[in-house]
Structure 1
Amino acid sequence: MKTGIRFLMFVTLLTITTSCFKDYFETDKISTHIQWEPNFAIAAVNTSLTIRDVLRDYDTTHLFVEDQTGFLYLMYNKRIFSLPAKDIVTIPDINLSSQFTSSEYAALGFPVPNATVPVTHNMTAVLALVHSEIFDSLRVKHCELGVHFNTSFQHNGVLTITLPNAKANGQAYSHNIPVAAGQNVNEVLFNLAGYTIDMTQTGTNQFPVLVTYTLTSSGNPVVPADVADLSLSFTNIQYDYIFGDMGNYIINLNPDTVHIDIFDKAFDGYVYFMDPKFRLIMTNSFGVPMAIGLSDFLIYSTATNAYSPYSFPAQYNPFLISASQYPSPYAVSTLQLDTTNFPLIRDIVQNSPKYVFFSAVGATVPPLPGQKQFISDSSRFSVDLEVELPMWGRASLFAMQDTVDFDFMETIKDSGDFTLDNIEYIIFKLNVTNGLPTDAAVQVYFTDTLTDVFGHYIVYDSLFYSPTAAQIVHSGVLGSNGRVISPTLHATEIKFDNPRLQKLRPSKKILIKGTLKTTGNGNQNVRFYSDYDLKVKMGLRVQASVNSQQFD
């Protein structure tokens, strides 16, 4: 569309200038029919941009970063897996039951007028864990203790529930529930939040529960059929922390991809990065080490339009992931693939990798003797895939293309009273002072919206008629380390005469194709820094022929 804007600007200037001439001269003394052939030279563009300027304006996703020297890196990052503790370690519900019988009270001489007799049942709550866990302690974030109690004793009483190994502020949990004679107690819920349950005093993954039913004699007898049935439930158990041996868990990392979108429109040539890196950044806030086995490592290339399989280096498969050390919030383990341990990475990146795909299976690692593990409710295991491409390497005929709507005749029509026939020629003159280590060629094709039987756009004309002419940017001069030490000036002139402009009448689109080569025809490794600049000066010369009769 920029080409159309340029044409519009030329014609607008012609119109303004004509108006000035009419105001200056006494038009009643001049013939009303003249042939006017103005020639204008216009300085249309004079600008200078550094790479840093371009990135500041267009790199809205901050893909490029620079170090303290200004050297540039292209960085892609995507979180491909994240698993919270609640989706790995869950605590099952616990259900307990017991029955108080008349014989237990009769053996203690009950009933005796005004006597109070307690009977205590010792029960054990067992966590039915299935991953070989051995918990030392569990700090409760939430747990609902449900009580169902049905009694036929005709005496008032108190039901006392005590958890001697569940403590808060040094005090064991205990709760009293009044029970009226012959009445039932149903769905009474208590929250054990804030209590820490010690499971080292009894068997594995269990803690004692003491229930005492104390009867106060009402003067009524106790008959052999009198009983009191108790059901206890610990449900919706959530934890703040768990300490101990977290057992053996298998963690499946669902397959996922990271998209490297700079290669979306690449269709020809290659870019060769000297020091590319792929990283799997694993963040573990579990106090449990893990091992991860990596598989299904595939790269989709826009050069081949297919996935190709690769194998992770054997020394990293499995890869050990460090545990967080309490109270440290997390530990980070990084698996880096680079040119040292994975030489194929250069070839992978050269083939324009649009997608990187992989899957993995992880497992928790049992503690060594004397070691303790932990998890918290905020613990999480996550994996980020990061691609780092230091801007050091070479490119040859790395092509990118795009299509832009451009209705040539609508552009001319919008310019006012002038028509395409008024323009004899337009000359573009372009001076580019290039401080980048690249040669660039740009070709613009003026096309129709229709395509031929092969699916190709119908081309009416092009901006340049030879590859040499299309190379409008020439590389700066390099030093020994691949950095530009001085810029290079190159001048380009393009002429559109009227017959050539007439060829553009049916054009509806422009197809822009850009090709890029680094210094030395793409055979020399170069480095890119943010202070590299490009200076562009463009001048225009327009020759128009206007007959005043066309305005009558």
Structure 2
Amino acid sequence: MFSLLYLLVVFQACSVIEEVDEIKAPDWQPALALPLATAEVQLSEVIDQLETQGSLYEDAEGFLGLHFDGGAYRVTAENMIRFADITGPMPDTSISIPLPYDGLEKMRLKSGTLAYSFSSAYLGDMELVLRIDNAFKDGVSFRKVIPFTSPASLSGSLDLSGYELQFIKPTLEVAYEAILLIDGSRQRLYDLVLEFKGLQYDYLQGEFEPYEFELPADTFELNIFEQLPQANIAFEQLSLDFHIRNAFGLPIGIFADQLNVLTHRQGSMQLQAPALEAGITLNYPSLEAVGTTAQTHISLNEQNTNLSGILAASPYQVQYGLRAASYPDGPAGPGFITDTSSFEVSMSADLPLYARFSGFSLQDTVTIDPAQLDMVESASVKLSAENGLPIDVQAQLYLLDEEGRLSDSLFSPQAQILLGAEVDAQGAVVAAKEQSVLLELNAEKFAALKASRAVAFEFRFASTGAGSQAVKINKYYQLKAKLGVLINQ
């Protein structure tokens, strides 16, 4: 659609036709033919010059489209499960300390300490043996021996890093022995206090409680339409794609809370995506694939949304707000969370260059030297073309005086000079059109041309069928044109 602008540039920096015989017509018998220019345009060269945030791509058959990438955000497990410090006395030599989460099977600690404090009135050397019977490292349960001489008051802490807690029920199974070494007798420490502090995990396994993640609202820009404000254009296809990389080893559902599209013609429009509004469960890694990510791609297009109507309104921004919740379909068996678990949401769009359009207008001005026509009484202009573009073109040439003021136009009225190539029902070109236009200049028009100092070209163009048929743009489609002037005898 932008090829005519490129064509004008080529005409200004034209290559001269060396053989006048290349311009032929059965009824055109000039005394002198002045070839002016040739042009050969491929649409891919023109679209490459279009200022857009999108990148041009082509499919296997050479059909072109624009790809847009948006930003991304990442949601972590930071607030999903957190363990507060747990403090409690030891009223007995063994107790079960409950944890605030049901369904836990394993918890591997990357940091944390077991702090203790006590006093003893016994006399002699003693040992305090502290055990956590369901905490293991290298296959050995947690057991620490603290020697001291009683009577004494002691406090300290023991490192829990690297221990794996294994649960039949969500409790810490803690026990102690206070041994008087002189006779091996077991004693009671009535003021023993234990505190589990700073428990940080790097791996959790089990069936966790449902959790709702906080996701930020975001926007996605489609700036292609902003460069075409004067045109009537309706793209046929658009794919808005969410890409989600999930490292949580449990089911997470993603839901659309807000899907609005800002358009040039209808303002804000709601994007209706029933499947995403109802929720889509993300793929997730299994227990055997800890440390990997699973990918989910959600595509919104004209088949599963109301994008067809929105495309006709020229969208330029998508505003979206998503919601995510674990276990959207209820309990699903054991899963896992690591300290690096996260899911990342990004968005992209693919816009095939497949559209109906009309109302495009491109202009350019070229200075001329009419002195070479002083001795000429009449002339004609001929344009020959092989149009392999699915674009109908109308042209007008305006004559400007020394002050740049409009003095006349060559075509009356504006005439269609190049019909678009023949296309099939899918908008692909099936045959180029060969055609030529011969413009006879009457005395008034020729006098105006001789008095002019510049010519302003105006081109108006539309997709095949005066903009009624959607067409596809292919990198191999091209327009070949030759322009010549006939000086009549």
- The TM-score with structure 1 as length reference comes to 0.63
Give the partner amino acid of 2:268. Y
The answer to whether the 8 Å contact 2:214/2:324 transfers is: yes
Q: Would you say 1:64 and 2:22 are equivalent positions?
A: no
Q: Would you say 1:357 and 2:319 are equivalent positions?
A: yes
The answer to whether the 8 Å contact 1:425/1:497 transfers is: no
- Pairing partner for 1:487 from 432, 436, 454: 432
Match of 1:93 in 2: 84
Q: Tell me the secondary structure at the aligned position of residue 253 of structure 1.
A: coil
Whole-Å separation in 2 of the counterparts to 1:370 and 1:46: 66
1:388-438 CA deviation, whole Å, 9 max, x = no partner?
Answer: 33333322225799xx9x9x9xxxxxxxxxxx9998589x99876542212
- Pairing partner for 1:518 from 463, 469, 484: 463
The answer to whether the 8 Å contact 2:75/2:215 transfers is: no
Instruction: Give the CA deviation at 1:206.
Output: 2.0
Whole-Å separation in 2 of the counterparts to 1:466 and 1:380: 66
In structure 2, the CA distance between the partners of 1:214 and 1:289, relative to structure 1 (3 Å rule), is: same
Give the partner amino acid of 2:281. I
Match of 1:265 in 2: 227
Q: Tell me the secondary structure at the aligned position of residue 346 of structure 1.
A: helix
Match of 2:96 in 1: 124
Whole-Å separation in 1 of the counterparts to 2:396 and 2:449: 18
1:371-404 CA deviation, whole Å, 9 max, x = no partner?
Answer: 2222233332333334333333322225799xx9
In structure 2, the CA distance between the partners of 1:515 and 1:48, relative to structure 1 (3 Å rule), is: closer
- Pairing partner for 1:196 from 149, 164, 181: 164
- Pairing partner for 1:274 from 221, 232, 236: 236
Whole-Å separation in 2 of the counterparts to 1:515 and 1:398: 5
In structure 2, the CA distance between the partners of 1:127 and 1:536, relative to structure 1 (3 Å rule), is: farther
Q: Tell me the secondary structure at the aligned position of residue 427 of structure 2.
A: coil
Q: Tell me the secondary structure at the aligned position of residue 348 of structure 1.
A: helix
1:24-68 CA deviation, whole Å, 9 max, x = no partner?
Answer: xxxxxxxxxxxxxxxxx89777555352x5667879976333332
Instruction: Give the CA deviation at 1:469.
Output: 6.0
Where does 1:101-180 land on structure 2 (aligned, <5 Å)? 121-129=93-101, 133-140=102-109, 142-149=110-117, 151=119, 153=121, 155-179=124-148
Whole-Å separation in 2 of the counterparts to 1:260 and 1:228: 69
Match of 1:550 in 2: none
The answer to whether the 8 Å contact 1:94/1:127 transfers is: no
Give the partner amino acid of 2:113. L
1:281-327 CA deviation, whole Å, 9 max, x = no partner?
Answer: 444332322334423321101234x21234432x5532231441413
Match of 1:340 in 2: 303
Match of 1:74 in 2: 66
Q: Would you say 1:303 and 2:265 are equivalent positions?
A: yes
Q: Tell me the secondary structure at the aligned position of residue 371 of structure 1.
A: coil
Whole-Å separation in 1 of the counterparts to 2:324 and 2:129: 45
Whole-Å separation in 1 of the counterparts to 2:202 and 2:145: 25
Q: Tell me the secondary structure at the aligned position of residue 261 of structure 2.
A: strand
Q: Tell me the secondary structure at the aligned position of residue 133 of structure 2.
A: strand
Q: Tell me the secondary structure at the aligned position of residue 76 of structure 1.
A: strand
Whole-Å separation in 1 of the counterparts to 2:194 and 2:319: 52
Whole-Å separation in 1 of the counterparts to 2:427 and 2:9: 38
The answer to whether the 8 Å contact 1:433/1:490 transfers is: yes
Structure 1: unaligned runs, 5 residues or longer? 11-40, 101-119, 409-419, 446-458, 505-511, 541-552
In structure 2, the CA distance between the partners of 1:265 and 1:48, relative to structure 1 (3 Å rule), is: closer
Where does 1:461-540 land on structure 2 (aligned, <5 Å)? 474-479=419-424, 481-488=426-433, 501=453, 516-535=461-480
The answer to whether the 8 Å contact 1:148/1:185 transfers is: yes
Match of 1:232 in 2: 195
The answer to whether the 8 Å contact 1:276/1:388 transfers is: yes
Q: Tell me the secondary structure at the aligned position of residue 310 of structure 2.
A: helix
Q: Would you say 1:435 and 2:385 are equivalent positions?
A: no
Whole-Å separation in 1 of the counterparts to 2:362 and 2:96: 71
Instruction: Give the CA deviation at 1:76.
Output: 2.8
Q: Would you say 1:374 and 2:336 are equivalent positions?
A: yes
Give the partner amino acid of 1:144. G
In structure 2, the CA distance between the partners of 1:285 and 1:9, relative to structure 1 (3 Å rule), is: closer
In structure 2, the CA distance between the partners of 1:174 and 1:399, relative to structure 1 (3 Å rule), is: farther
Instruction: Give the CA deviation at 1:276.
Output: 3.2
Instruction: Give the CA deviation at 1:264.
Output: 2.1
1:494-544 CA deviation, whole Å, 9 max, x = no partner?
Answer: 99979755999xxxxxxx99854111111113222232234466899xxxx
Give the partner amino acid of 2:335. Q
Whole-Å separation in 2 of the counterparts to 1:74 and 1:150: 71
Match of 1:49 in 2: 42
Give the partner amino acid of 2:389. L
Whole-Å separation in 1 of the counterparts to 2:409 and 2:47: 29
In structure 2, the CA distance between the partners of 1:522 and 1:423, relative to structure 1 (3 Å rule), is: closer
Give the partner amino acid of 1:67. D
Instruction: Give the CA deviation at 1:248.
Output: 1.3
User: What's the Cα RMSD here?
Assistant: 5.1
In structure 2, the CA distance between the partners of 1:460 and 1:529, relative to structure 1 (3 Å rule), is: same
The answer to whether the 8 Å contact 1:82/1:380 transfers is: yes
Whole-Å separation in 1 of the counterparts to 2:424 and 2:368: 51
Instruction: Give the CA deviation at 1:244.
Output: 1.5
1:146-202 CA deviation, whole Å, 9 max, x = no partner?
Answer: 42435465655444433221223322233344446636444x452422x321112x3
The answer to whether the 8 Å contact 2:130/2:176 transfers is: yes
In structure 2, the CA distance between the partners of 1:502 and 1:435, relative to structure 1 (3 Å rule), is: closer
Match of 1:388 in 2: 350
Match of 1:318 in 2: 278
Whole-Å separation in 1 of the counterparts to 2:463 and 2:234: 10
Whole-Å separation in 1 of the counterparts to 2:409 and 2:174: 90
The answer to whether the 8 Å contact 2:390/2:429 transfers is: yes
- Aligned identity (percent) is 20
Where does 1:451-462 land on structure 2 (aligned, <5 Å)? none
The answer to whether the 8 Å contact 2:370/2:452 transfers is: no
Instruction: Give the CA deviation at 1:2.
Output: 10
Whole-Å separation in 2 of the counterparts to 1:467 and 1:520: 22
Instruction: Give the CA deviation at 1:84.
Output: 1.9
Give the partner amino acid of 2:175. L
Give the partner amino acid of 1:438. I
The answer to whether the 8 Å contact 2:42/2:475 transfers is: no
The answer to whether the 8 Å contact 1:443/1:462 transfers is: no
The answer to whether the 8 Å contact 2:43/2:473 transfers is: no
In structure 2, the CA distance between the partners of 1:288 and 1:356, relative to structure 1 (3 Å rule), is: same
Match of 2:442 in 1: none
Give the partner amino acid of 1:350. A
Give the partner amino acid of 2:60. Q
Give the partner amino acid of 1:96. T
Whole-Å separation in 1 of the counterparts to 2:460 and 2:347: 30
Query: Greater share of helix residues, 1 or 2?
Result: 1
1:253-300 CA deviation, whole Å, 9 max, x = no partner?
Answer: 322111111112221333323343333444433232233442332110
Instruction: Give the CA deviation at 1:485.
Output: 3.0
